[in-house]
Amino acid sequence: MKQKQILSNALWGTAAAVAVMGITTTVATATEPCGDLGECKVLIELNTTDGDIGFHFLVDGDDLVKMEGMNPDGKKFFKADAKKELREQFMTETFVESAEPVCRAVLAEEDEDIVVTLEEFLERWSPGMYTFKGKADEGEKPEGETELTHEIPAAPASLAFNDLTNVISWTAGDDLGNCATKLELDALELAGVLPEHPEDVDVDAWEVVFEPDVEDGDPTGSLKFTIRVAGGITPKEVTVPAEYIDSIPDDTWAKIEVGAIGGEDNATFTEIFDICINHTGDPECPEEDD
């Protein structure tokens, strides 16, 4: 999954939304105090269409030259040291995404691809308090902690785009797409692997991304539309501005991504592809229902 731009959750719990064009896709993450640090957060993110899962963390402080993270057992899982030019200018915000292996063998593209099932992933990244410790330029040692939970919201379902009204719509789901069916999730909840079924996890926000699906290097790829709306929005739909659609070249493929963001920032994303924007009849870019 592509790197995500961090947005504040200050808008969560309100009907307000933010629209951003010309940036990368976003990821849910909080901007909350973290002890002596400015902020820190750990979270789980799934792309339930591709069937991959990753661990993300963010830590922020002033004039840092070292940073390390410990899991709930006190074992170090991350360490960074500023060297040379960076040592002179210091570190502040550090955002890291783990690799995102597929969660089923059937999704692997190569025999050597690593497969990590949802259950294996949750066993690897234990719930609990994750501690971050830093060292600042003048010797200060800021420290803070933040909690990882296994409360994962269900994947958005029934994604659709109406090219007459420019409306993106979706519904609340009851599974984790290609990573786990509803029945599999029932079993994981019964076994105590999940604290509650994803369909019972509250969604604090929905994140919607409209992205031209072009080859690397094509400047059209930077023309992304992103918006975050409150979890209680009814109906679950967002209108993409006509001015934005008009800015995309004729006969351009696009994809849509909708993410369900839980209260602890864990996120599940669902995607749809092969949407033809500003179609002129070119057979290389057929209508959406062709």
pLDDT, tens digit, 9 for 90 and up, residues 72-109: 999 999 999 999 998 989 998 899 999 999 999 999 88
- Give 195-198's long-range contacts (Cβ < 8 A, gap of 24+): 195/127, 195/149, 195/150, 195/151, 196/151, 198/152, 198/153, 198/154, 198/155, 198/173, 198/174, 198/268
Residue 268 has pLDDT above 90, yes or no: yes
pLDDT, tens digit, 9 for 90 and up, residues 16-66: 333 333 333 344 344 467 888 989 999 999 999 999 999 999 999 989 999
- Residue 273's alpha-carbon distances to 6, 175, 177, 210, 212, in angstroms, are 24, 20, 15, 10, 10
Domains, the chain, in order of start with CATH, read: 32-148 (2.60.40)
Query: DSSP 3-state assignment of 27?
Result: strand
Give residue 170's pLDDT band: very low, low, confident or very high (50, 70, 90).
very high
- Cβ contact 182:48 at 8 Å: no
**The pLDDT of residue 59:** 93
pLDDT, tens digit, 9 for 90 and up, residues 204-247: 999 999 999 888 788 887 889 999 999 999 999 999 999 999 99
Burial of 43 (0-12, 13-18, 19+ CB in 10 A): buried
**The pLDDT of residue 280:** 84
From the CA atom positions of the chain, what is the Rg in Å?
20
- H-only helix segments in 33-113: 84-89
Global pTM value: 0.83
Residue 5 has pLDDT above 90, yes or no: no
Look up residue 116 and give its amino acid: V
